[in-house]
Amino acid sequence: MKLLDNIFDRTVSGLSKSMDLTWRRNQAISSNIANAETPQYRAVEVTFGKELERAFGSGREVVSQTDSQHLDVGQNQTSRTVPDQSGATKPDGNNVDIDLQMGRLTQNSGDYMNAARLIRRQIGLIRNAIREGR
Amino acid sequence: MFNALEVLASGMAAARMRVNTLASNIANAETTKTPEGGPYRRRDVVQVAKDIPGSFSSALDRMTMKKPSIAAVTVDQSEPRKVFQPGHPDADPQGFVAYPNINVVTTMADLMSASRLYQANVTAIETARSMQNEAGRILTQA
């Protein structure tokens, strides 16, 4: 991504990180929908860590944790798959809230597609510059 | 990409199996004679979540996704519902006919819920496809 960063500043690498993470989240939502009626299945969700902030940030203001006893400044948190506690557990031990998941599916895919469109626009700008605006 | 689609396709297959089983239960709610003898017995699906296969998947994939699968179809072993119908060809010597233990109303409700679940899986597949299309356009239409 070094070369890309030189051409596009950090926007494109930040957006592609964002696509990575929203795709991961789409996988979790898909699994929840597929297992909406599987007894004992526990819903999962993907929490976003600080990767996005890092990818978009200049990198200079990043505070690093130099000692394990220092307070966690949050810069090293990564996105994780965690249990999704938002739905009520049904008698069969399943806690998928299908309506909530369908809503998230739409929201999340919109985020993904918007990031893809923005990357396309960025590349279009460079192309425009190469062609000297013609 | 493939994993998400594979998981959703399994979701569709499981939902379809559920629909078929429930449809069979509704269709046979009044069936008093079967090749195995006695009335039709209610079928129920046993659905489990499986880990996705190791090849082509990362540890993160396996943590995030589980694949639904129908482990078994069980046959209801409860005592049939007895209805007093003397003269019915399937009546016992006391005049009672054994009917399946099927509540058509709740089965119908389950059927509707299963078919909605099937649609939800289809919607999620369509969503994954439009996401991939949009990503592909970065290459083709930049």
Q: Place B140 in a pLDDT band, splitting at 50, 70 and 90.
A: confident
**Is A27 within 8 Å of B61 when comparing Cβ atoms?**
yes
Question: Is B58 in CB contact (< 8 Å) with chain A?
Answer: no
How confident is the model over A4-40, as pLDDT tens digits? Answer: 567 777 788 889 889 999 999 999 999 999 999 999 9
Spatial separation of the C-alpha atoms in residues B54 and B71, rounded to whole Å: 20
CB-CB neighbours of B40 under 10 Å: 24
pTM of the model: 0.84
CB-CB neighbours of B21 under 10 Å: 21
Q: What is the DSSP string of chain B?
A: -HHHHHHHHHHHHHHHHHHHHHHHHHHTTT----TTSSS---EEEEEEEEEPPSTT--HHHHHH-EEEEEEEEEE--SPPEEEE-TT-TT--TTSEEEE----HHHHHHHHHHHHHHHHHHHHHHHHHHHHHHHHHHHHH--
pLDDT at A2 over 80: no
Task: Let me know if B56 is exposed, middle or buried by CB neighbors in 10 A (0-12, 13-18, 19+).
Answer: exposed
Mean pLDDT computed over A122-129:
89
B31 and B40 Cβ atoms separated by less than 8 Å: yes
Provide the pLDDT for residue A67. 67
Mean pLDDT computed over A108-129:
93
Q: Count A/B contacts: CB-CB distance under 8 Å.
A: 110
Helix count (H) and strand count (E) of chain A?
4, 2
Of A35, A44, A124, the CB nearest to B142: A124
Mutant choice from B138, B139, B140, B141 vs A, greatest count of A C-beta within 10 A: B138
Q: Place A48 in a pLDDT band, splitting at 50, 70 and 90.
A: confident
**Is A30 within 8 Å of B4 when comparing Cβ atoms?**
yes
Task: Let me know if B28 is exposed, middle or buried by CB neighbors in 10 A (0-12, 13-18, 19+).
Answer: middle
Provide the pLDDT for residue A61. 52
Q: Which residue does chain B place closest to A102, by CA atoms?
A: B120
Provide the pLDDT for residue A134. 79
Q: Which residue does chain B place closest to A124, by CA atoms?
A: B142
Of A27, A40, A120, the CB nearest to B65: A27
Mean pLDDT computed over A93-113:
95
Distance from CA of B95 to the nearest CA of A (A): 39
Within 8 A of B64 by CB-CB distance, chain A residues are 24, 27-28, 31, 44, 46, 81
Half-sphere exposure of A21 (CA within 13 A, CB side): 20
Closest by CA to B84, choosing from B96, B73, B70, B75, is: B96
How confident is the model over A49-87, as pLDDT tens digits? Answer: 777 777 776 555 555 666 666 655 444 567 788 888 888
How confident is the model over B32-48, as pLDDT tens digits? Answer: 999 988 999 999 999 99
Spatial separation of the C-alpha atoms in residues A63 and A24, rounded to whole Å: 27
Closest by CA to B52, choosing from A45, A80, A19, A27, is: A27
Mean pLDDT computed over B112-118:
95
Within 8 A of B62 by CB-CB distance, chain A residues are none
Rounded to two decimals, the ipTM of the complex is: 0.87
pLDDT at B66 over 90: yes
Provide the pLDDT for residue A4. 59
Task: Let me know if B10 is exposed, middle or buried by CB neighbors in 10 A (0-12, 13-18, 19+).
Answer: buried
How confident is the model over B77-91, as pLDDT tens digits? Answer: 999 999 999 999 999
